[in-house]
Chain A
Amino acid sequence: MRPLTLRRLLLQCLLLVLILFIVVVIALKFGAVPVSLYALGRDVLRFLLGQTSQISSDYGLIIWNIRGPRILLAIFVGASLSVAGTSFQALLRNPLADPYVLGVSSGASVGAILALIAAPYLSLPSTLTALLTPVGAFLGAGATIAAVYVLGRREGQIDSTTLLLGGVITGSFLSAIITLLMGTVTSGNNRGMVFWLMGNLSTSFQKSVYWFLGIGFFVAAGAIYTTATDLNLLLAGEKEAMHLGVDVRRVRLVVYIAASFLTGLAVSVSGSIAYVGLIVPHVMRLIFGSDHRTLLPTAAFGGAIAVVFADTIARTVVAPTEIAVGAVTAIVGAPLFIYLLRRRLA
């Protein structure tokens, strides 16, 4: 018997923090304009010493104003999607559940686009207008997962094949709605169709958005983390979890709202980045096991690592133009999804 200890959990997280650090350094270094490691190290040191005025202006601009915020965005988007995916997998008892596969990301996109369309008509102060998109995305995500949940039920039980099919169909229906909305309404929206359908991280936002993203992530992921041991038991089914002392209704509500919020948060700033919520939890499960006390934090770090890395590839592979980061994750994710599906059927 080797039950989980706090020490082991912290060591695992520390390992992933180190990997994330290395990936972030790589992401800062590579791009359309190469930055030498020496210059990077020097600037980081100066930043830490508070001598920001001495940072050379050309590199400084690229690092602090362009790549830095983008990497920060990638970290929160990756972590949010990955934690949402882990939660949906436990809640729906389906190892193939993921915000993108279930159509939840598309639902969030529709909500975000509707919010963008509605924003000019509502005379709100600018700080509230900035939050309108994530709120719209959250509502879109919440409504979609509720619809997919209802579609996936057969005789009162969740049927995993019906659920996945329901999600895929809902997703393609909502993608059509996105195309329709983008075709008819273009005013006040500088982000194109590819953004919402494939996702990318090239938009820069005002500072308050990053704060909202960070705080929102920690609150929602924290709420999910309080149910970590309950989620472990839910893997065996709701009835069994209830007999072991899980307040199934409460857990379902908390995780459902928080995971929809995380999806909405990620989608409102980056569009629908596919498969992150599917691949990362599976890889982490293979490495660290399926205890949610470990899985949730390691999946958050893993998601951050994966998206920062995928975005670096998206930025550099055909530089100076860039491809949508969602295309990179889908190229890796779709074959893996098929592999997991086949292994489960076998």
Chain B
Amino acid sequence: MSSSSAFARNPSDASRSNSEARLSVEQVSYAYSANPAQAPLFTLEATSFQAKPGEIVAILGPNASGKSTLLKLIAGALAPMSGRILLNGFVTHSLTPRTRAQRIAVVQQESTLLFPARAWEFVLQGRHAHGRSLRFESEDDVLIAKNALAQVGAAELSDRWMDQISGGEKQRVILARALAQQPLLLLLDEPTLHLDIAAQVGLLDSLRRLAAANRYTVVVVTHELNLAAEYSDQVVLMQRGRCLRVGPPSSIYQRELLEQVFQTPLSVELGASGRPRVTVLSATQP
């Protein structure tokens, strides 16, 4: 914990090192195996990329390409087999859970509660890592939670029960809890999975706004080609445990490459926003 005092938790302090990479994934690999004596069931080969504050990185690939494994490694939930992941110079998986939660917020696909809770209670959970155990929430905590709800446009949901709001609303409250953690790094695992298209665009619009305003580094795992093209600054393209390419969407979105990765015929053109746009073609078309 000696490192924590030297570490800038406040986003405004952290932006001093604006020009440098905040997140640095260096030659990280991993292997899953049911039994150490057997061959691994799944391997992630050496993967590297870097991200700056305010940047959105999309980890893109089909199912079982290693996207979620890479996210877990970045989150520090898994220790890499080789290589390392640095967040502002600190190795993420060797931080204590508490210190890690002050710097990294993870938004998972779904959040199930055993007993009903109101949205504000849920968002206040994001303050857990910032307080001592057994203390009562301070006025600052309440203010931060209120701000977080307002930032995702969910202030009016504050007093609603979590099990009585829509999927899109719930996703926004979950995002608000992550913001209440005041992280440097925001990780999202398929955040748009259960959302309709309007809610998807709404969520990603607010992500882009928040990344710019609060200088978060955002890493999103997704298999949505067009959403990744539209909203990310960098794409990490994955296939069967290998990182094929890293770069801005314009350099990644090439027809042959994407066809090979996603195993389906498609066309790539430039959209109205100047970003690539993918149309999936039917395989049976002549």
CB within 8 Å of B: which residues of A? Answer: 1-6, 89-90, 93-95, 225-230, 232-233, 235-237, 239-240, 242-248, 285, 290-291, 293
Contact = CB atoms under 8 A, between A and B. Distances in A.
**Counting chain A CB atoms within 10 Å of each CB, which of B128, B137, B145 scores highest?**
B128
Interface of B: 75, 77, 96-98, 100-102, 104-106, 108, 111-117, 120-121, 124-126, 128-129, 131, 133-134, 136-137, 141-142, 145-146, 158-159, 181
Contact of B136 (A6, A90, A243): A6
Nearest to B181: A244
B86 to A, nearest CB: 19
B33 to A, nearest CB: 14
B105 A243 contact: yes
A238 B128 CA distance: 15
A245 B114 contact: no
B163 to A, nearest CB: 13
A4 B113 contact: no
B62 to A, nearest CB: 24
B96 A247 contact: yes
Contacts of B112: 236-237
B125 A232 contact: yes
Nearest to A94: B114
B97 A247 contact: yes
A233 B142 CA distance: 17
B137 A4 contact: yes
Contacts of A93: 114
Nearest to B137: A3
Contacts of B133: 226-230
Given A244-B125, A245-B129, A235 B96 contact: no
A236 B136 CA distance: 20
Contacts of A225: 134
A244 B137 contact: no
A1 B114 contact: no
Q: Is the interface of A mostly helix, strand, loop or mixed?
A: loop
Contacts of B146: 1
Contacts of B141: 3
Contacts of B181: 244
Contacts of B120: 1-3
A90 B114 CA distance: 9
B115 A3 contact: no
B140 to A, nearest CB: 11
Q: 10 closest A-B pairs (Cβ-Cβ)? A: A245-B129, A245-B101, A290-B115, A243-B106, A3-B137, A1-B120, A235-B114, A245-B98, A247-B97, A244-B128
Nearest to B115: A290
B134 A1 contact: no
Contact of A245 (B128, B142, B145): B128
A281 to B, nearest CB: 10
Contact of B129 (A94, A227, A237, A244): A244
Given A244-B181, A245-B98, A3 B124 contact: yes
Contacts of A290: 114-117
**Counting chain A CB atoms within 10 Å of each CB, which of B97, B112, B133 scores highest?**
B97
B162 to A, nearest CB: 10
Contact of B128 (A5, A229, A237): A229
A243 B128 contact: no
Contacts of A246: 97, 128
A235 B122 CA distance: 11
A335 to B, nearest CB: 21
Nearest to B122: A236
B125 A233 contact: yes
B254 to A, nearest CB: 35
A277 B77 CA distance: 34
B69 to A, nearest CB: 14
B136 A3 contact: yes
B128 A233 contact: yes
Contacts of A233: 125, 128
Contact of A236 (B100, B111, B142, B158): B111
Contacts of B111: 236-237, 240
22 contacts: A1-B120, A1-B124, A1-B158, A4-B136, A6-B136, A90-B114, A226-B133, A228-B134, A235-B113, A235-B114, A235-B115, A237-B111, A240-B108, A240-B111, A242-B77, A243-B105, A244-B126, A244-B129, A244-B181, A245-B98, A247-B98, A293-B136
A237 to B, nearest CB: 7
B72 to A, nearest CB: 9
A94 B112 CA distance: 13
Contact of A239 (B77, B100, B114, B131): B77
Nearest to A235: B114
A6 B135 CA distance: 9
Nearest to B121: A291
A163 to B, nearest CB: 13
